[in-house]
């Protein structure tokens, strides 16, 4: 009987990607199959996140539930990966001695080896080092799970924003080679993938040698757009400081590059940005946005904002509201500042009281929501190219896909369109999604290309 593994993922897209790779590695080397739930698994994996406060407690509480399973089935194995595992290492074993394997984001490729060693020695195994390039070298061949796919192009982060734990848990930036990335995109396109998202903490820092030249993300986008079958390209996350002219030009020149960008700003106050060690001013951020919108007028922008960073005054917060008002973000991730032990910001005085942080969060959320609603309603009456990802929501005859701006669009249509890019006329703009009508008859590529040009 093949063994079954259940993987639970906390945190960001990088973790979701890593969990997918863990499953592929376990399937490829130890013949594991995915389990329906923790109850029918032989191996439980918790892929943890430590960006927010109480991450360790959250991981421990989840592990407590895993432990109950283990007390019922002593042969069950428990592995913990991700950023909490990386940060705590074998300390985690003190609090959770029932764990069998602890590994980090850069050692997930060693999971089968660690599990074997656990059986052979009878002892828990810990490996949370950063042999990052090894990870890329040992990633299994990609397996498409639908018409969209993530392609990891770099690992780690070397920016050291004063609040952030990521450089300490995932290590410094390491680039995947040009040849590997393009081979992966090519393989995915052969399996029916139509949209790829280049993934990493700072993808615009990516560089890779190729035929005597050093290529950058803009080159990578151009090469990927030349691969037949690939119809849409996205990338996330990027950092404002490495967002140069070549990448901005790509928005003007590469039609397959989606008209959506996630560009975290964190705060609208220069004083706070300096304390965060972000390396740019709000003027620089605004100027990049202005140039991006010249390159691609319909560009949709999303961002990350932190509320209540130490020392944030009413005036700093007002500056954030003003920036949001001016830029017109289309959805944003809002974070309450949480002190992460070991980061420089953790030792800054002047913490903002919790109640005030929450009050500011609500104010900002209300502003962002009203902007997002207005932008969503402004889509009504347009015909958008939508990549159909699935059917059945909310009812069986419905299809759902995403627009270039990354909005979910729901409309009636036949199941055979899943995996295709189709033109949809938007009839309703809701707060988190759009509703529309399929433009019949089923489109050929030429028709879709015409629609894209009209929209852009």
How many angstroms separate the CA atoms of 209 and 215, rounded?
A: 6
Q: Under a CB-based contact definition with an 8 Å cutoff, are residues 124 and 144 in contact? A: no
In 243-338, where do the E strands start and end? 260-262, 300-307, 332-336
How many angstroms separate the CA atoms of 155 and 153, rounded?
A: 7
The verdict on 239 binding ligand F3S (CB under 6 A) reads yes
The verdict on 164 binding ligand F3S (CB under 6 A) reads yes
The verdict on 250 binding ligand SAM (CB under 6 A) reads no
Nearer to ligand SAM, 76 or 324 (CB): 324
Nearer to ligand F3S, 189 or 236 (CB): 236
The verdict on 49 binding ligand F3S (CB under 6 A) reads no
The verdict on 202 binding ligand F3S (CB under 6 A) reads yes
How many angstroms separate the CA atoms of 176 and 21, rounded?
A: 15
Shortest Å, Cβ 261 to ligand SAM: 12
Question: Interface with ligand F3S by CB under 6 A: which range of 73-81, 155-163, 226-234, 314-322?
Answer: 155-163
How many angstroms separate the CA atoms of 207 and 229, rounded?
A: 25
The verdict on 182 binding ligand SAM (CB under 6 A) reads no
The verdict on 304 binding ligand SAM (CB under 6 A) reads yes
How many angstroms separate the CA atoms of 159 and 177, rounded?
A: 21
Q: What angle do CA 312, 244, 228 make, to 5 degrees?
A: 120
List 14, 25, 124, 157, residue binding ligand F3S (CB under 6 A): 157
Nearer to ligand F3S, 234 or 278 (CB): 278
List 201, 267, 269, 332, residue binding ligand SAM (CB under 6 A): 201
Roughly what angle, to the nearest 10 degrees, separates helices 178-190 and 217-225?
Answer: 30
How many angstroms separate the CA atoms of 36 and 48, rounded?
A: 20
Question: Interface with ligand F3S by CB under 6 A: which range of 60-68, 161-169, 182-190, 349-357?
Answer: 161-169
The verdict on 169 binding ligand F3S (CB under 6 A) reads no
The verdict on 306 binding ligand SAM (CB under 6 A) reads yes
Q: What angle do CA 339, 340, 346 make, to 5 degrees?
A: 60
Shortest Å, Cβ 340 to ligand SAM: 5
How many angstroms separate the CA atoms of 79 and 45, rounded?
A: 5
CA dihedral sign of residues 364, 367, 370, 373: negative
The verdict on 273 binding ligand F3S (CB under 6 A) reads no
How many angstroms separate the CA atoms of 91 and 111, rounded?
A: 19
Tokens representing 421 are 């890019």
Shortest Å, Cβ 165 to ligand F3S: 8
Q: Which does 12 bind (CB under 5 to 8 A by kind): ligand F3S, ligand SAM, none?
A: ligand SAM
**Number of residues binding to ligand F3S, judged by CB under 6 A:** 10
The verdict on 407 binding ligand F3S (CB under 6 A) reads no
The verdict on 159 binding ligand F3S (CB under 6 A) reads yes
DSSP-assigned states of every residue in 32-57: -EE-SSGGG-SEEEEEE--SSTTHHH
Q: Which does 338 bind (CB under 5 to 8 A by kind): ligand SAM, ligand F3S, none?
A: ligand SAM
Q: Under a CB-based contact definition with an 8 Å cutoff, are residues 374 and 329 in contact? A: no
Nearer to ligand SAM, 112 or 344 (CB): 344
> What are phi and psi for residue 126, nearest 5 degrees?
-130, 125
> Which residue, chain included where needed, has tokens 């943890």?
48
Residues in touch with ligand F3S (CB under 6 A) = 157, 159-161, 164, 166-167, 201-202, 239
Residues in touch with ligand SAM (CB under 6 A) = 12, 51, 157, 163-164, 166, 201-202, 237, 239, 264, 266, 304, 306, 335, 337-338, 340
């Amino acid at each position: 009987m093949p063994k079954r593994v259940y993987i639970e993922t906390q945190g960001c897209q990088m973790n979701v990607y890593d969990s997918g790779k863990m499953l592929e590695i376990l399937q490829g080397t130890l013949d594991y199959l995915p389990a329906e739930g923790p109850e029918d698994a032989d191996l439980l994996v918790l892929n943890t996140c430590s960006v927010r406060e109480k991450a360790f407690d959250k991981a421990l509480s989840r592990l407590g539930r895993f432990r109950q399973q283990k007390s019922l089935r002593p042969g069950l194995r428990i592995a913990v990966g991700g950023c909490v595992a990386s940060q705590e290492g074998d300390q985690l074993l003190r609090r959770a001695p029932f764990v069998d394997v602890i590994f980090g984001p850069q050692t997930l490729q060693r999971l089968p080896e660690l599990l074997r060693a656990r059986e052979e020695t009878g002892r828990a195994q810990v490996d949370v080092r950063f042999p990052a390039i090894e990870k890329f070298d040992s990633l299994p061949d990609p397996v498409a799970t639908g018409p969209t796919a993530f392609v990891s192009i770099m690992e780690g982060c070397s920016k050291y924003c004063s609040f952030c734990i990521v450089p300490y848990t995932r290590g410094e930036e390491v680039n995947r080679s040009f040849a590997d990335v393009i081979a992966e995109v090519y393989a995915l396109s052969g399996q029916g993938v139509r949209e790829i998202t280049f993934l990493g903490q700072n993808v615009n820092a990516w560089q890779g040698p190729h035929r005597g030249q050093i290529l950058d993300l803009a080159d990578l986008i151009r090469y990927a757009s030349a691969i037949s079958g690939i119809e849409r390209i996205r990338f996330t996350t990027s950092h404002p400081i490495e967002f140069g002219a070549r990448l901005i030009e790509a928005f003007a020149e590469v039609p397959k590059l989606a008209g959506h960008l996630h560009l975290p700003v964190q705060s609208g106050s220069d004083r706070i940005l300096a304390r965060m060690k972000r390396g740019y001013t709000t003027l620089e951020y605004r100027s990049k946005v202005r140039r991006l919108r010249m390159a691609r007028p319909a560009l949709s922008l999303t961002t990350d904002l932190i509320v209540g960073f130490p020392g944030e005054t009413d005036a700093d917060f007002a500056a954030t509201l003003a920036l949001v008002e001016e830029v017109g973000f289309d959805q944003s991730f809002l974070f309450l500042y949480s002190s992460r032990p070991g980061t420089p910001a953790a030792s800054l005085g002047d913490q903002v009281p919790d109640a005030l942080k929450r009050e500011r969060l609500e104010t900002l959320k209300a502003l962002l929501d009203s902007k997002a609603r207005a932008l969503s309603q402004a889509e009504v009456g347009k015909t958008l190219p939508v990549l159909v990802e699935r059917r059945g929501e909310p009812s069986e005859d419905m299809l759902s896909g995403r627009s270039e701006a990354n909005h979910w669009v729901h409309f009636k249509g036949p199941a055979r369109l899943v995996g295709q890019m189709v033109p949809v006329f938007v009839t309703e703009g809701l707060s988190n999604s759009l509703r529309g009508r399929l433009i019949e008859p089923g489109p050929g590529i030429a028709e879709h290309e015409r629609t894209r040009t009209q929209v852009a």
